[in-house]
Structure 1
Amino acid sequence: MNTLKHTPGSDATWFRRYPPSAPVRMRLLCLPHAGGSASFYHSWGNALGDDVEVLATRYPGRQERIVEPCLETMEELADAVTAAVLPLLDKPLALFGHSMGASLAYEVAVRLERRHGFGPSLLVVSGQRPPHGQRPRTAHLDGAESVLAEVRKLGGTDAALLEDPDLQELVMPALLADFSVVGRYAEKGPRPALPVRCPVVGHVGDRDPNVTVADVAAWADVAPKGFELKVWEGDHFYLAPRRDELVADLASRLR
């Protein structure tokens, strides 16, 4: 059974912590996609090894933080997550992010290295272009229906749930904010390809409607310490049906 640990301070606000059964050897920081939440990683909680603590990131404006205002730029999110994880750097840290969360994982890794002198052990990105491969996205400028159309196109459990009008009303503020994060991150096109000082692994579904295998392969340009590409059968949310295999792959890399 997954168990949660809450400790005082900003890390308790920002992360659901899943303590392992043995003393913590390292931590995996998991960053959700646009419209996603910490619950997306609940089943990962105790599956990465008996000495790996999972930190599932809680974005403001949803679930336990529903009353808080959402953040609408990548810079705000990355600065806040970086500040929140600083007290937890007594152990090695790896990062995993899917879609918007992949860009956020990269930005947090860059901040940890360049502002705080801390080098993550591993950066794992999924279903997203690298910074220098970003393209302008405008769904956030066209209102709720445009955002919903994009969510339906990408698929996943979230898309099915959004057909419920009551639930749609509840989650739309967070969805709109996250799509603003994505759109504003790329509004001026490609961003600088700042290298990270750790190995990078890129994951992608072979039928992703928005991100190609070549797009994800370009993360190699920011990975002078080594890059590996993993292509999975599936769409943008390949990681739901392939959860067990993906978690096993991550666990083997964190050992």
Structure 2
Amino acid sequence: MSDSPWFVSRPTAGLAPYLVYCFPHAGGNARSFLGWQSRLGSDAELVGVCAPGRGLRLAEPAPATIAELAEGAARAIAAAADRPFLLFGHSFGAVLAFEVARRLREQPLLRHLVASGCAAPRLLPSERVRRTAELTGQDFTEAVSFFGGLPPEVLAEPELQELLLPGLAADFRLVSGYRYQPAAPLQLGISLVNGREDPHVGPAELRHWEHESVLPLRYHWADGGHFYFNPDPAPAVDLLRSLVRADSGAPSPREEHVELI
């Protein structure tokens, strides 16, 4: 895998035939995906996408818009991808993955987009996200707790909030500034995976994804809320493995954790 600062990975023992680029949620860490590698095994190499101004790249200037971030990520992937690949993004990461897919639409190695926990881009930003992005301090912390994913100790400790939440707040501002631009639908499949109890994203918010691909959408539902893959990532990983194996002609494992409708 490329040694670009855009990427982190835990390479497989041999050269995996497939790459899975993963875009984290708002405030998320690309390295958090690396624990999924053991579940994918040798089917694919999982690659976390690291944004400038976040995590290990904190000293670099942060992009001012999702479009600017998508341009940089798309250039890095186009330069590094030497095998078939798919894009996976959760929440904020799904919007970013979608915009990257648009910029890579002529790249034949791009095979699929998986959007997790995310309303259709043409509906974004939601009113709740816009309001949350305007808040600061404890008001912001309480507002983002609606989505889940914040450990109880962060909610209880202002010192931890000062340390951990600036990146989350910056990502909320990026999403709040997102403006969907109509374009031709993608010539690749899109799979949607969501928690049944997600308070922010449901069937009504998902159906407009149908405008973004010439192919029928595939809907997957998992038990849980917005962060349905915590603590067990099986719903997401099983879907990724099935897509990789289907594209490479290998038998797919039975999807025990994700219901296809």
Q: Same fold (TM over 0.5)?
A: yes
Once the two structures are overlaid, the 10-residue window that deviates more, 147-156 or 200-209, is 147-156
SS at structure 1 position matched to 2:39: coil
* SS at 2:97 equivalent: helix
8 Å CA contact retained: 1:72, 1:180: no
Q: What is the SS of the residue equivalent to 1:54?
A: strand
Offset, 1:180: 0.9
Deviation at 1:242, TM superposition (A): 4.1
* Residue 75 of structure 1: aligned partner: 67
With structure 2 as the length reference, what TM-score do the two structures score? 0.84
Equivalent of 2:210, from 217, 220, 238? 220
Q: How many residues align?
A: 242
Which of 51, 64, 77 does residue 85 from structure 1 map onto? 77
Unaligned residue ranges in structure 2 (runs of 5+): 246-261
TM-superposed deviation, 1:118: 4.1
The 3 A distance-change label for structure 1 pair 219 and 180 is same
Aligned to 2:191: 201
Identity of aligned residues (%): 34
**Distance across 2 between alignment mates of 1:180 and 1:215:** 20
1:167 to 147, 152, 160: 160
**Contact 2:148 / 2:227 at 8 angstroms: preserved in 1?**
yes
Q: Where does structure 1 lack aligned partners over 5 or more consecutive residues?
A: none
Counterpart AA for 2:119: R
Q: Which amino acid aligns with 1:250?
A: L
How far residue 224 of structure 1 moved from its aligned partner, in angstroms, is 1.3
CA distance in structure 2 between the aligned counterparts of 1:59 and 1:161, rounded to whole angstroms: 23
CA distance in 2, matches of 1:180, 1:149: 16
Q: CA deviation at 1:160?
A: 4.6
**Deviation sequence 1:12-49 (CA, Å, 0-9, x none):** x1111221222221100000000111132121123223
Equivalent pair of 2:83/2:109 in contact (CA under 8 Å): no
Partner of 2:13: 21
Contact conserved, 2:25 with 2:90, CA < 8 A, in 1?
yes
- Deviation per CA, 1:63-94: give whole Å up to 9, x if none: 32233333341112111111221222221110
Q: Matched residues in 2 for 1:215 and 1:167: separation?
A: 33
Amino acid at match of 1:254: V
| TM-score between the two structures when normalised by the length of structure 1 | 0.85
* Separation in structure 2 between the aligned mates of residue 41 and residue 222 of structure 1, nearest angstrom: 26
Structure 1 residues 181 and 49: alpha-carbon distance in aligned structure 2, compared to 1, 3 A threshold: same
Match in the other structure for 1:100: 92
Change (3 A) 1:160 1:36: farther
Which range moved further: 157-166 or 135-144?
157-166
SS in 1 for 2:218: strand
Q: Following the alignment from structure 2 to structure 1, what is the Cα–Cα distance between the partners of residues 63 and 166?
A: 10
2:237 matches 1:244: no
After TM superposition, give the deviation of residue 159 of structure 1 in Å: 6.2
Do the aligned partners of residues 73 and 138 (structure 1) sit closer, same or farther apart at CA in structure 2, a change above 3 Å counting? farther
Deviates more, 1:67-76 or 1:85-94: 67-76
Give me the whole-angstrom Cα distance separating, in 2, the residues matched to 1:27 and 1:160.
35
Measured in 1, the distance between the counterparts of 2:137 and 2:201 equals 22
Counterparts of 1:79-158 in structure 2 under 5 Å?
Answer: 79-113=71-105, 117-118=107-108, 120-134=110-124, 135-136=126-127, 137-158=130-151
Runs (4+) of structure 1 exceeding 6 A deviation are none
Please list the CA deviations of residues 177-197 of structure 1 after superposition, one character each: whole Å capped at 9, or x if unmatched: 1011110014xxx54264111
Q: Secondary structure at the match of 2:104?
A: helix
